[in-house]
Chains A and B, each alone.
Chain A
Amino acid sequence: MTYEQLLTELVEDNEFLYIMTAENRAHIRQLPQKIGGKFIDVGIAEQTMIGMAAGLALQGNTVITHALASFLTMRSFEFIRTDVGIAELPVCIVGFIPGILSEANGPTHQSLEDIGLMRLIPSMNIFSPMDEEELINGMTHIVNSKNPWYIRYSNQPSKIQHKPFEIGKAEEIGEGNDIVIFSHGFLCNEALEVASQLERNGFSSKVVNMRTLRPFDEEVIIRTILDADVICIIEDHFSTGALFTIISEIIALRGLSATLLPFNLRTWHKSGLLKDVMQYETMTAEYITQKIMASLQ
């Protein structure tokens, strides 16, 4: 099933569901023909889309909105905060090409602060799926939750069989405890490669795919910190505001101590094709594995 097929089914099953876009139809191109007036394209008008979504939600509907993540979370930030956030309305804000998935578009299109911004809105929940299968598994739960959600869109083909989805529960992949690699979104694939390279070098490790960054799985984070020698955090986000911050806050609040190795971005990334960006910004499994092993010596 594709994301578009899922949305078609959700609208067919739920008369109180609208799909909106601010002129970005890349992943939902067939929807207008399939769902008619339940699909609203407002043009390049992110603020108006979010305001309208709040109005539709006031009428008892759930609304799934789409645009490029950078424009959606930043151009319309105050509308998300004030109209969706204060009223705690069931609006899903789906950001396309988040993080380094913007590839060669340049810094205008890089949403490297989106999770941080959304975390600042008290009622906002955040889902960062690893791949298309997880996106689809999660969306049904999210739509049914009737809460505000930010979804960092990822539709990479799935490389693993996922465990059942539950809001606020991380997915632990692997058994090892020496090195634990936290990640979210498509970089979980890189995290899995890091884990297998570490295994080949004789270290036990596991990957924690956070899935939702609010609510987040505090139990897994605390248990892992207590058990692991090294905590590695891989995310295509600025160092402030997302998973590295979440884990740091837990360590500070709970009085824990841990060796943290964060792999994230301190400023806008070099623009280019994805594999080249990964190399340039040292986000590849090879580089991360070397850094982790160096830290253990």
Chain B
Amino acid sequence: MIEQEYNNLISVALRVRESIIRMSGNGGCFIGASLSCADIIVYLYAKYLEVSHENINNPNRDFLFLSKGHDVPALYATLAEFRFIEKERLSHHLHINDNIYWHPNTSIPGIEFHSGSLGHLLSVAMGVAYDCLMKKQDNRIVVIMGDGELNEGSVWEGLLVASALKLHNMIIIVDRNKFQANMRTEELIPLEPLENKFVAFGWNVQRIDGHDFFAIGDALKICDEHRGTPHVIIADTIRGKGVPSIEERADRWFCNFTNNDIDSLIQELYGNESKQLDSSIFHVR
């Protein structure tokens, strides 16, 4: 990757994070998880997935399934950057007359399937992957999952079956931000050692820094070269990445910020000092 491409990725990711922050007011959104997976989603659309706003129905396109649907602001913002939807439409977030709501739905061009209930899209993606292999097409099927989502039994059921069916055209990227809702994963249902679990289920496993574009690119390249088993990339990330005042804070899961706070967070994103936030904190547990 040449320097100019790298700098471009950095710029796109910054703009995506700014859009995510702007969606965290007037009703709010799941900002922490959206910020943690932003670099992964930006890289996928910028450099990896063979899909564009001009070929969203092409049967030979690559597929992205967002299984942990609550981080969809990162996807909305990225789809806007890559012209699947008008950027203006992001300002319709939570408007009753549009469909830019808290979880993904297929009325948004580029969104392949709805999600929201965790542990569903692995198996849905497996159906697509199986059909592509039957048709001898070389589509790549990427599924983004949360680490908390790995609590769901249907995930491990799907992992077993995908391995048995040798769906080597599938890549799971786990956004390993180490939080689920208002808890640290390791304090609730510990996942580590996580690589070993996927290896035991027959998957080709890599573990990377999920904010390092070079590492994301290298890992995806290995997936393309390695045939025979499905792939999982455990991407270690930071919840709230890019905005230090909410990074790695269990209490900043779903946030509904005031306009003042949003201004402060955007300044923080672009390198200014963090400020005291006034908005109330939501707890589910």
Contact = CB atoms under 8 A, between A and B. Distances in A.
Interface stretch (A80-88, A221-229, A233-241): A80-88
A42 interface: yes
A47 B123 contact: yes
Interface residues of B, number: 27
B194 interface: no
B126 A52 contact: yes
A54 B127 CA distance: 7
Given A48-B154, A51-B158, A58-B113, A79 B123 contact: yes
B124 interface: yes
Given A48-B126, A56-B131, A58-B124, A42 B161 contact: yes
Interface string B113-132: 11001001111111111111
Contacts of A57: 127
Contact of B123 (A38, A48, A86): A48
Nearest to B59: A59
A164 interface: no
Interface string A84-100: 00110000000000000
A59 B123 contact: no
Contact of B160 (A45, A59, A63, A78): A45
B117 A82 contact: yes
A142 interface: no
B149 interface: no
A83 B128 CA distance: 13
B106 interface: yes
Interface string A116-156: 00000000000000000000000000000000000000000
A295 B134 CA distance: 60
Interface string A54-83: 111111010100000000000000110011
A45 to B, nearest CB: 5
Q: Give the interface SS of chain B, mostly helix, strand, loop or mixed.
A: helix
Contacts of B132: 59
B106 A52 contact: no
B189 interface: no
A255 interface: no
A50 B154 CA distance: 11
Contact of B130 (A45, A47, A52, A87): A52
Interface string B127-148: 1111110100000000000000
B157 A54 contact: no
B120 A40 contact: no
B136 to A, nearest CB: 11
Nearest to B113: A58
Contact of B120 (A18, A45, A56, A82): A82
A-B pairs, top 7 by smallest CB distance, nearest first, are: A55-B127, A51-B123, A52-B127, A56-B127, A59-B131, A55-B124, A55-B128
